[in-house]
């Protein structure tokens, strides 16, 4: 019986965490995204969106839906600020202005540098540690899986 109650508490906690951030739960945001998708992301409007979308955005995988979410995020932020409220998070992240196709350029640069550092260390590891060493292949595989 105690195990069943514990599972129920864990399930309720997981459901609360999965409910989203304040911004993406906001009806104004949800309605804006739905309306934007209806108007811009189907038929001829979608072709128009694709024709005016910069090539680097399409290569990076930004879709019409992503663009609607981004634009509606700023509409919602504007309303929050206008009413004197704090800026909410959206999808677990704080709103950042997009630079090229990066919505969080500092985070993207940090991730790139982290991957570069992992690659350098992997190269050093492979240079100085003999392949016959115990756990050599495990360490190399882990380095690749963890971003190196």
Reported as a single tens digit per residue, the pLDDT across 86-118 is 888 888 777 776 666 566 666 767 778 888 887
Note if the pTM is more than 0.75: no
Question: How far apart are the C-alpha atoms of 75 and 80, rounded to whole Å?
Answer: 9
What pLDDT is stored for residue 32 in this prediction? 92
Cβ proximity of 147 and 121 under 8 Å: no
Task: Please identify which residue in the block is written with the tokens 């109650």.
Answer: 5
- Name the least confident of 11-15, 35-39, 66-70: 11-15
* Geometric angle at alpha carbon 61, from 105 and 16, rounded to 5°: 75
């Amino acid at each position: 019986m105690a195990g069943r109650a514990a599972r129920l508490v864990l399930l309720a906690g997981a459901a609360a965490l999965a409910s989203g951030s304040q911004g993406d739960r906001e009806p104004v945001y949800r309605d804006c995204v739905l309306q934007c998708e209806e108007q811009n992301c189907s038929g001829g409007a979608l072709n128009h969106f694709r024709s005016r979308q910069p090539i680097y955005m399409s290569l990076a995988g930004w879709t019409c839906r992503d663009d609607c979410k981004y634009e509606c995020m700023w509409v919602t932020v504007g309303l929050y600020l206008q009413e004197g409220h704090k800026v909410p998070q959206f999808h677990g992240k704080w709103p950042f202005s997009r630079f090229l196709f990066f919505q969080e350029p500092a985070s993207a640069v940090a991730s790139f540098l982290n991957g570069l550092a992992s690659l350098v260390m992997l190269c050093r590891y492979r240079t100085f540690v003999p392949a016959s060493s115990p756990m050599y292949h495990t360490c190399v595989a882990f380095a690749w899986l963890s971003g190196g």
